[in-house]
Structure 1
Amino acid sequence: EREREVSQLMLGGSSTKEIARRLAISIETVRAHKKHLYAKLGVSSQSELFSLFWQARR
């Protein structure tokens, strides 16, 4: 659930620091969620995540 929230905020343009503040979690926790999300989706960067998102919308 938290990874989904983090990904939605990322796709909305929020920075790691902003995500941590909005979800009331540490920056390191956000980074861990991002790492797990990237591994599950087979991407290695936020730009690849955006690309995957846009491809799925077509």
Structure 2
Amino acid sequence: MLKRILESKDAVISTLAVINAPVNHLSQEEWDVLQEACTILEPFEQVTVEISADSYVTASK
């Protein structure tokens, strides 16, 4: 989810500005923290995907 919001950062900022949403906008420092969190969590995502793939039974001809 964090990865998706970072990929859509410009769209999120633009949309919030256009609709004048009553929410606090993230500062650049907060965006940087999100990026760091994604970088730190990336290995865990890779391991989770790998372990999950091991549990699928595949059949070949």
Name the one with the larger helix percent. 1
Question: Which structure's CA Rg is the greater one?
Answer: 2
TM-score, length-scaled by structure 2: 0.39
TM-score, length-scaled by structure 1: 0.40
Higher RCO, Cα 8 Å, sep 6+: 2
